Chains A and B, each alone.
Chain A
Amino acid sequence: MKLNTDMQVVKISDYLWEIPPSEKPDMLVPARIYASAAILGAMDRGVFDQVTNVACLPGIHRYALCMPDGHWGYGFPIGGVAAFNPEDGIISPGGVGYDINCGMRLIRTDLSLSEVQPKLELLMTELFRRVPAGVGSRGFVNLSRRDFRDVMRQGAGWCIAKGYGWEEDLERIEERGCLDGADPTHVTDYAIERGINQLGTLGSGNHYLEIQVLSDNGIYDRATAAAMGLTGRDQVVVMVHCGSRGFGHQVASDYLKVFEKAMHRYGIFVKDQQLACAPFRSPEGQDYFGAMNCAANTAFANRQVITHQIREAFEAVFGESARRLGMQLIYDVAHNIAKVERYRDGEWLVHRKGATRAFGPGSPELPACYRGIGQPVICGGSMETGSYLLVGTDRAMQETFGSTMHGSGRTMSRAQAKRTVRGEQLLRDMKQHGILVKAVSMSGLAEEAGLAYKNISDVVETVDHAGITKKVAELKPIGNIKG
C-alpha cells in the first residue's frame, strides 16, 4: 500500500496501524493511527510527521494517537490524542488547538419535518437574526469585565443562573459545562478585549448551526437512540458547532509565546515550534491550564447562550414554549481540550485536538440517563452530506483514553474550494437539494462546500468497526447557518 510517509507503518488490525518508536529519533512511545486501509492511504504526510512528533513529548503515556478524520494541524495533527503523566509530563497548546473547547451540541425536538418544512424559511431567518455569525460578530449579552470573569469561572452554569437555559441542561454537558481550575488572573487583557463581546456568536470558518432531520432508516441502534430522546419518524434536531471564538485563540497565542521561552529553561526540545510546551506542574504550565480552562468554560457558555437563542427562535416561529416543543439538550461535547482524567491505569492529562471524548457505559462522569448506554458523541460532517450521532464504548476507555473522531476532515484547501464553486451557485444548488442556507459571506460559504471534505460515512465506519465508538443515528441537514 502506498502511503504519504517513508516511515514503517505496521498493521495491527484492519482499522489500526502503528509506527514503531524506531522510526524517528526521540520517540518515547509508538504512534497509532485508527483508519481503514483506504483512509490511511489518503492521509497527508503531515499526519505521520506530526503524530510521531507528539510521540517524542516528555511524559507521554502508552501511545500518540490519531483518529481516522486526522489531517495536518498546528503541532498535533487534527484528530490527535495523547495522554501525559500529570506529575512529570508536559501540557501543550498545540495539543488543544487554537479554538479551545471547540465542540458540538445537539438539541432534540418533538417536531417532525412535515411540521417544520412550511416554516423553514421563517425559522432560518429568525435563527440568523438571533445567532450572530461571521467576521466581527457581537453577541446580545452585555458583559462587564467582572461578569466575563464569572463566565470564565462558571461556564454554562453562569448562563443557567442568568436564565439562558434550563437547569437540566447542565448534566448533559461534558463536565457539566464547567471545568475546575479556571483562573482569570492568567488571562491577558488582549484576550478579554477580544472575547467580552462575543458570547452567543457562531464565528465563521467551519462553524455552523444546522437544522437536521432523523429519518426512520437513519437509526442504527434504536434502543440507544430512544434513550437520547430520538425516535426517528423524520424528527427535527438542531446541531451547533462552535467554540471559544477570538478569546480562546488569544489565550493559545499568548501561551505559545510564554512556552517558547520557558521550554529552554526546562531543557525541553520539540520537533515543531507549534508543539511549544511546559511541564504541567511548572508555573507556566499551571498558568496556561488556568487560562485554558477559562476559555473552555467560555466556550461552554457560548454554546449555552446560542441554545437559549435557538429555543427562543423556535418559540417565536411555532408559538409554543421550547419545553412543549421538547427541546431538550441531548449532549454537548468538546473536541479541543486538555483535561486530567482517571482511567484504570491511573490519572492522565489527556489532550484531544479535533478528537471527541467517548466515555463508555458505566463511566461515573456520565449522567444517570446515559450511564447505561455510554456517552453521546456528536460528529459533524460537511453541510451538504450530514452528521452522525455515536456512543462511547468500553474499548475506547481501554485503547484511546476514551476518545474518538470529531468530524470528516478537509481534503481541499479553502482557496481551491473557492475556485471550484461559487457561493451563490452553491446556495442555489443546496436549496434544490432541500437544504436552505443562510450565510454572512458567500466566499466563506464556498470554502465550506461538501466537495472540500472527506466522506464522513467512511470515517464513521472506521471508528464503528474499530469498536471505539458505535453508530447510533445519521442526521441529514435541511437548514444551515454559516458565518
Chain B
Amino acid sequence: MPGSFRFLDDIALADMAFDAEGESLPALFDAATRALIESLADPVTIAEPWQHTVDMEEQDIETLLFEWLGRLVYLKDAQGVVFHRATVSLNQNDARRAWHLHAELTGAPVDPATQDLRSDVKGVTKHLYAVTQGENGWKARVVLDV
C-alpha cells in the first residue's frame, strides 16, 4: 500500500511541516518524497525530460531519510529542476547493516510559464525531526525551511 502524508498547521509558522506514514519503510520514503516534491511544485504540471539516478548509503534509516530529502533540495537548486516523480527502493546491506537507497527521479527544468510552482524549499531541518515505528507501520515528522 502506498504511504500518505499531510501538511501540519500548528508547528513552524514561518515554514512548512508534514507527517508522512507508511506500512513499510519503502511506503514511508515514498510518502515523504511525494510531500517534498509537492511542496516545490504541482507534479501534474511537471513533464519528465530530466532523469537522474541517486544512490546513497547511511548507517540508520533516520539519517537516510534526512539526507535523501536534503539531496532533493540540493538537486532542485544545483540542476535548476522541479520533480514529477521519484521511484525509491531500499536495501539493507547484510554484512555492514547499512541502509542503501536507490532512486530514479524524473522532472523538468524550472519554467514558471508552464509549471505550477509552489515554495522554494531551502532545506530540511532537524527541528522535531523523527522517524518512528509503531503498530501500524512507520511515521516521520519533517519540518522544511522555506
Interface centre among A190, A252, A415 (most CB of B within 10 A): A415
From residue A228, how far is it (CB to closest CB) to chain B in Å?
Answer: 29
Across the interface, B145 reaches (CB within 8 A) one of A74, A134, A135, namely A74
Besides A135-B120, A412-B13, 6 new A-B residue pairs in contact (Cβ under 8 A), listed by A number: A195-B77, A204-B119, A245-B77, A274-B125, A410-B13, A443-B116
Inter-chain CA distance A359–B77, complex, in Å, is: 36
Nearest opposing residue in chain A for B14, CB measure: A410
Stretch in B2-10, B90-98, B134-142 touching the partner? B2-10
Interface centre among A78, A136, A246, A414 (most CB of B within 10 A): A136
Contacts of A98 in B (CB 8 A): 122-123, 125, 145
How many angstroms between the C-alpha atoms of A75 and B112 in the bound complex?
A: 34
Which positions 103-146 of chain B face chain A at CB distance < 8 Å?
A: 109-110, 112, 116-120, 122-127, 145-146
With A194-B78, A250-B123 as contacts: A415 and B40 at CB distance below 8 Å: no
Q: Contact: B122 with A249, CB < 8 Å?
A: yes
The verdict on B32 contacting chain A, using a C-beta distance below 8 Å, is: no
Q: Mark A72-90, 1 if CB is under 8 A from B, else 0.
A: 1110001000000000000
Nearest chain-A residue to B15 (Cβ)? A414
A273 surroundings in chain B (CB, below 8 A): 126-127
Q: How many angstroms between the C-alpha atoms of A112 and B110 in the bound complex? A: 37
Closest CB-CB distance, A299 to chain B, in whole Å?
13
Give the distance in Å from the alpha carbon of A245 to the alpha carbon of B74 in the complex. 12
Asked if B20 is an interface residue, CB under 8 A from chain A, the answer is no
What would be 9 A-B contacts, judged by CB atoms less than 8 Å apart?
A98-B125, A99-B122, A134-B120, A135-B118, A136-B110, A194-B74, A273-B126, A441-B119, A444-B117
Q: How far does the alpha carbon of A444 sit from the alpha carbon of B145 in the complex, in Å?
A: 14
Contact B117 A440 (CB under 8 A): yes
| Minimum CB–CB distance for A174 against chain B, Å | 22
| Contact, CB under 8 Å: A204 / B78 | no
Q: How long is the Cα–Cα vector from A411 to B11 in the complex, in angstroms?
A: 11
Whether A415 and B9, one on each chain, are in contact in the complex, defined by CB atoms closer than 8 angstroms, is yes
Residues from chain B with Cβ under 8 Å of A193 in the complex = 74, 77-78
User: Do residues A253 and B76 form an inter-chain contact, with CB atoms below 8 A?
Assistant: no
Q: Assuming the A-B contacts A274-B125, A410-B13, A410-B14, are A136 and B145 also in contact, with contact meaning beta carbons closer than 8 angstroms in the complex?
A: no
Max count, chain B CB within 10 A of own CB: residue among A137, A193, A206, A413: A413
Using an 8 Å CB-CB cutoff, how does the interface string of A407-433 with B read, 1 for contact, 0 for none? Answer: 000111111100000000000000000
Contacting residues, chain B, for A415 (C-beta < 8 A): 7-9, 16
A474 within 8 A of B: no
Give the CA-CA distance A245 to B145 in the complex, in Å.
12
Q: How far is the CB of A35 from chain B (nearest CB, A)?
A: 17
Instruction: Give chain B residues whose Cβ lies under 8 Å from the Cβ of A197.
Output: 77, 80
B7 proximity list for chain A (CB < 8 A):
415
Cross-chain contact B120 with A203 (CB below 8 angstroms): yes
Across-interface contacts of B78 in A (CB, < 8 A): 190, 193-194
How many angstroms between the C-alpha atoms of A441 and B109 in the bound complex?
16
A153 located at the interface, meaning its Cβ lies under 8 Å from any Cβ of chain B in the complex? no
- Chain A residues contacting B41 (CB-CB under 8 Å) are 135
Query: In the assembled complex, how far is the CB of residue A196 from the closest CB belonging to chain B, in whole angstroms?
Result: 8
> Nearest A residue to B146 by beta-carbon distance?
A205
Ordered nearest first, which 6 A-B pairs have the shortest CB separation? A136-B110, A204-B120, A246-B77, A193-B78, A194-B77, A249-B122
Contact B14 A137, beta carbon cutoff 8 Å: no
**Best-buried of A135, A193, A416, A441 by chain B (most CB within 10 Å):** A135
Question: With A74-B125, A250-B123 in contact, is A444–B81 under 8 Å at CB?
Answer: no
A71 contacts B by Cβ under 8 Å: yes
Which chain A residue has the least Cβ–Cβ distance from B123? A249
User: What is the minimal beta-carbon distance from A249 to any residue of chain B, in angstroms?
Assistant: 4
Query: Whose C-beta in chain B lies nearest to the C-beta of A98?
Result: B145
